[in-house]
Structure 1
């Protein structure tokens, strides 16, 4: 143990030395004045085809909006934010615009409403122009590209100190790549600036206020907008809410550990019931043991499957990706079956789902998560001492033997420059509706309750005993959908918080 502690102490020094070149003094940006932003708020848009089949098929069009890269210097360098618009189906009853964000951060949102609008009633569709957006630094909006060799900035630490040391080196390298590729832009890829961009979009569209639908990280963005522009917020729906006091790569990811471990138990029980198909174990305990032995096997020697070498840093991410919905349990069982067969020496070509997940995890195809890390690290600073993460990681293994190694691992934010602005303190009385599943594996139920407490004008609709991340358009439930559609159509929030059962 003493030798391990010495090794970790050396890692701390080495890791911080590697990150030192990235550290610059934090700068608090003064707010821009209305006059200095006038040219942005009154620009004219050139609507054109989005070249996205589903969006174009709904009559959607796209436009570029110019915004300041740095709102503290509005006369300086600019950047472009791309938005889409699906017109209200009945202009005579049109109420206004509904902006959106699909989460991430780093999620492209131009076609977000193609599927999500299917959960809306004709009455709601009649009343709103549905506005999608690629936020600054994402997708078509001058995407951040750190040229990462792997797809995820989140990584499992492995099973021992050697695996953790590998993570420290990897995460330091990812941060250094971002600083080299995008250094000048990184301080401005923040949630507060995206909220400012949203208000420019509001003005350019000629609206006094905006309605909004945000999922996952998008709930935090919506809450920040309500905090910064409370008089500009209309009907706001937050689906799968972040804890605003835990927002940031450390708190948010730590909070994923327990619900994902619980989802692993639920999946293991489901898989045991289907042992005749997947042959991973006849009991939940046997399935879980099979997974943990497979991770240990990958730590000793990467598992070759098709063109991929899957190690203990990447194998559990296959389950993490699948566990955002119980609808994916069969897919997860099939993927673990394929990996187990490959570990046994069989020549296996991964199916389309597994190959797609591994391409993202290991090859950054079609894209990496550097836009997400740019926002997370740019919003909230993270501890820099690797030993801090190792202590938390080891403490978590007793109750989270699989997902503790993700929830407490070091990230690129440990080697990032400090944020340019302080995080937004959320606390206001703007009316809004929060919808949340109790088993959410990405933004846990306790976090949604915290958002509910911070937003004193909110009502909360809870979907009981379902482990799904975000509900609207993903997991049909008439109780939840009725509450959302009534609010969006008529502005009527539930008289009290609601509890809905799985259908």
Structure 2
């Protein structure tokens, strides 16, 4: 059930704000870039950069490709570049740049000053992609109600990893954020610019923070929008996101008096939670996914939540899913943009587990499920699957320490306590 995995990335870019080490991968990439017109987006230029799979073993490492796109600055005298990453992990920076170009949403002051550069992180899209979704990664049951379900889930994830590793081998272990940041430094060198300017959204803020830490001397204007915690612990991140979503759904239902002065928000929350449990018990996966998708959208975007409230209250009156279906169809008709989160689930897991060295066993996850249920009876069964993503993954080769630095230049960090995806606690 895709109850949590997918999330929308906010539309409008915040780059107006830009207008106002031993890890140096020198000589490890093919520094020459040959730009050509992109086939599917002729307003952009495309290029490919070769980099080592394993930067610690440059001489013997096989190389991988990093796919790049460029929207050239309108000022021909410009010599600065602005790199973009939309988050995920596992989302495409090339798709983000294509979207910005189509919508013409970048202010002219930025268009004149910077070459806008998109890139797909290693393992994603045009960058030597990991492709194991057809092995069953997208069909894993993510709603774990008890210890038996947890045990079955871990066995399923382990089986899928083994099959994926048969295709991609050790490459799955080299997709972590530190290597992506080294790729970013290789991109800077290939672009022949002194400073890297960068905007990272959500997970992209981890890349921004790491770049500031690893390459402070080459860090230019850096924006961290929807900043992720500096701690890479997947269990901690799952808990924080779950509690933020719980707060947001309570706030959403608390606004019911706007439509019905006599409504009881806590009763509605109890009713909603009971309905989710009932749908799962009945095996009504279609309605469960529909309700889950809309709830996730509603708690991630307050403006969307205010529109969802009416159809949601109508649904809770008689459990007629047609009200939700009609609302979703209306939304899809009005949404003319592509979803940037065309997630490669295997790559997502590989990235997260390359950064985090914790590997909770089934018993620990059972205890964690009890804790999660005390924090959110509505979302606990979903987020325990997130907390257990790395349980059966091989040990991390380069797990991240708590990200911190005193040598980096000033950067802009944007976040909010009500952000359900990357809450600031």
Q: TM-score, normalised by structure 1?
A: 0.68
What residue number does 2:89 align with? 105
Alignment CA distance shift 1:44-1:62 (3 Å): closer
Q: Distance in 2 between matches of 1:79 and 1:167?
A: 32
Instruction: Supply the distance in 1 between the matched residues of 2:280 and 2:200 (Cα, whole angstroms).
Output: 38
Q: Which residue of 2 aligns with 1:484?
A: none
Secondary structure of 2:50's match? strand
Q: Deviations over 1:28-61 (max 9, x none)?
A: xxx7776xx5262532323221513xxx4xx321
Once residues 344 and 180 of structure 1 are traced to their aligned partners in structure 2, the CA distance between those partners, rounded to angstroms, is 45
**Alpha-carbon distance between aligned partners in 1 of 2:173 and 2:149, rounded to the nearest angstrom:** 31
**Does residue 263 of structure 2 align to residue 265 of structure 1?**
no
1:419 pairs with 2:416 = no
CA RMSD, 1 decimal: 3.4
Among candidates 46, 57, 60, match of residue 73 of structure 1? 57
> Counterparts of 1:342 and 1:407 in 2: how far apart (Å)?
28
Secondary structure at 1:391 match in 2 = helix
- Is residue 138 of structure 1 aligned with residue 124 of structure 2? yes
1:348-401: per-residue Cα shift (whole Å, max 9, x none)?
967656999xxxxxxxx9654221111001121233311112212212323311
Contact 2:369 2:384 survives alignment (8 Å): yes
Question: Relative to 1, partners in 2 of residues 1:161 and 1:273: Cα closer, same or farther, differing over 3 Å?
Answer: farther
Structure 1: stretches of 5+ with no match in the other structure: 1-30, 357-364, 447-503
What runs of 5+ residues in structure 2 fail to find an aligned partner? 1-21, 333-340
- Structure 2 equivalent of residue 501 of structure 1: none
Which one has more relative contact order, counting CA pairs under 8 Å at least 6 apart?
2
Aligned equivalents of 2:217 and 2:72: distance in 1?
24
Partners of 1:354 and 1:420 in 2: CA distance: 46
Tell me, yes or no, if the aligned pair for 1:379 and 1:421 is still in contact at 8 Å.
yes
Aligned to 2:213: 227
CA distance in 2, matches of 1:330, 1:297: 25
Q: Which residue of 1 aligns with 2:12?
A: none
- Deviation readout 1:286-305 (Å, 9 max, x if unpaired): 3312211111112311116x
- Range moving further from structure 2, 338-347 or 421-430: 338-347
Q: CA deviation at 1:116?
A: 5.5
Determine whether 1:441 maps to 2:410.
no
In structure 1, what is the Cα distance between the partners aligned to 2:311 and 2:162? 33
1:325-355: CA deviation from partner (whole Å, max 9, x where unpaired): 1122256557857987996698996765699
Please report the TM-score for the alignment, with normalisation by the length of structure 2.
Answer: 0.80
Q: Which region of structure 1 is more displaced relative to structure 2, 71-80 or 214-223?
A: 71-80
Give the whole-Å Cα distance in 2 for the aligned partners of 1:225 and 1:83.
18
SS across alignment from 1:440: coil
1:78-227 correspondence runs (5 A): 78-92=63-77, 94-113=78-97, 120-147=106-133, 148-149=135-136, 151=138, 155-158=142-145, 160-227=146-213
Whether contact under 8 Å (2:154, 2:391) holds in the other structure is no
From 61, 70, 74, the equivalent of 2:45 is: 61
Alignment of 1:250 with 2:252, yes or no, is no
What's the offset of the Cα at 1:166? 4.4
8 A contact 1:68–1:77 mirrored in 2:
yes
Q: Specify the SS of the correspondent of 1:40.
A: coil
Helix, strand or coil: the match of 2:34?
Answer: coil
CA displacement 1:239-264 (0-9 Å, x = unmatched): 011111x2242221111121100111
Distance 1:83 1:230, change over 3 A: same
1:203-248 CA-to-partner distances (Å, cap 9, x unmatched) read 111111110000101000111111111111101000011111x224
- CA distance in 2: counterparts of 1:293 and 1:204, whole angstroms: 56
| Offset from partner CA, 1:459-496 (integer Å, 9 cap, x none) | xxxxxxxxxxxxxxxxxxxxxxxxxxxxxxxxxxxxxx
Aligned to 2:362: 386
In structure 1, which of residues 329, 333, 356 is the aligned counterpart of residue 305 of structure 2? 329
